[in-house]
Amino acid sequence: MNQEPIIETHNLSKIYGNQLAVNDLTFSIQEGEIFGFLGPNGSGKTTALLMLLGLTEPTKGWARVAGFDSTKEAIKVKKIVGYIPENIGFYDDMNAIQNLQFIARLNNMPDSVSSIKIEEALESVRLKEEAEKKVGAYSRGMRQRLGLAEIFIKEPRIAFLDEPTLGLDPEGTNWIIDYIQSLSRDKNITILLSSHDLKQVQKISDRIGIMLKGRMIAVGSIEKLAKEKLGVDDKEISLDDIYMKYFQEEAV
């Protein structure tokens, strides 16, 4: 663990009006990790991801991704990061192939290369049968899978996945979680996975960071957090316990 972290932030903060969305966030992720980025709704996860990707400017602090400054070298960061926004949107009147091809073109991928990869990707996310259907007719789960197909095609060094399991049934959730693990394992993609549900991500996360009101209140492997924060076995740990513990510590 003495190599340069692939993602690093320092006092990263974002203020909207008088609302502190992200507050002095300092953390780092090593290459190859699956990092669970946890926290309830409104805790600042999406805002932090947007700043990491250069889509919004930090009010204070900085972020570096693979050595590039997220604000000043946003294009270089975007070249090596695949991003699935929360509530992912596609062009509803285009089919899956057309949607993916458009993104491939924006990444400077020649059509001859992308058409092969698109086929492979759709196969791997089990959308081959529906490839020619307009995406407007897709279910939520299918859309999330199509988003993952985009990551499969781009093969980025890092993937930011913002609540990819939001609103899915347990079966769909499990499938997505397993698929993310395979992306990490087979393609060696570093994964920053945001979620508000610890249970969903604890199976695959090497480490987790817990956000609350814009602050990262705890970070580490799940076992370490369970032992240090709660003194329990990691099987029983839940986010609510950690929040409780945190508030108790604050109160002291």
Partner 1 sequence: MTGIGPIFRKELADHFSSYRFIILFALIAMVSLITTYMVGISLREELGGVAKPKFVFLMLFTSTGPLFSLVQFVAFFGPLIGLMLGFDSINRERSSGTLSRLAAQPIYRDSIINGKFLSGVATISIILISILLVVSGLGLKLIGVVPGFEEVWRIFLYLIISIFYISFWLGISILFSIVFRGIATSALATLAIWIFFSFFVSMGASVVANAIIPLDQSTREDTEMLMRHIRIQRIVSLISPMQLYNDSTAIIIDPTRKTTRSLVLMGPLERLSSERFRRPLSLSQSIYIVIPHIISLIAITFICFGVSYAVFMKQEIRST
Closer CB to ligand ADP, 39 or 82, in the complex: 39
Nearest distance, CB of residue 173 and ligand ADP, angstroms: 18
Question: Considering the rule CB under 8 A, would residue 243 count as an interface residue with partner 1?
Answer: no
Query: Which of 213, 240, 210 is CA-nearest to residue 224?
Result: 210
Q: Which residues lie near ligand ADP (CB under 6 A)?
A: 16-17, 19, 21, 39, 41-47
Tell me how crowded residue 101 is: count the other CB atoms within 10 A of its CB.
Answer: 19
Instruction: Answer with the entry of ligand ADP, Mg ion, partner 1, none that 105 interacts with (C-beta below 5 to 8 A by kind).
Output: partner 1
Instruction: Answer with the entry of Mg ion, partner 1, ligand ADP, none that 19 interacts with (C-beta below 5 to 8 A by kind).
Output: ligand ADP
Token pair, residue 108, equals: 């400077």
Token pair, residue 9, equals: 């932030």
Nearest distance, CB of residue 151 and partner 1, angstroms: 12
Instruction: Answer with the entry of Mg ion, ligand ADP, partner 1, none that 231 interacts with (C-beta below 5 to 8 A by kind).
Output: none
Q: Are 160 and 81 in contact (CB under 8 A)?
A: yes
Q: Are 240 and 38 in contact (CB under 8 A)?
A: no
Nearest distance, CB of residue 24 and partner 1, angstroms: 21
The DSSP string of 67-85 is TEETTTTHHHHHHHEEEE-
**Could you give the strand order of the β-sheet that contains 158-162, starting from the edge strand earlier in sequence?**
81-84, 158-162, 190-195, 34-38, 207-212, 215-220
Binding site for Mg ion (CB under 5 A): 46, 86
Binding site for partner 1 (CB under 8 A): 46, 50, 53, 55-56, 75-76, 78-79, 81, 83, 85-92, 102-103, 105-108
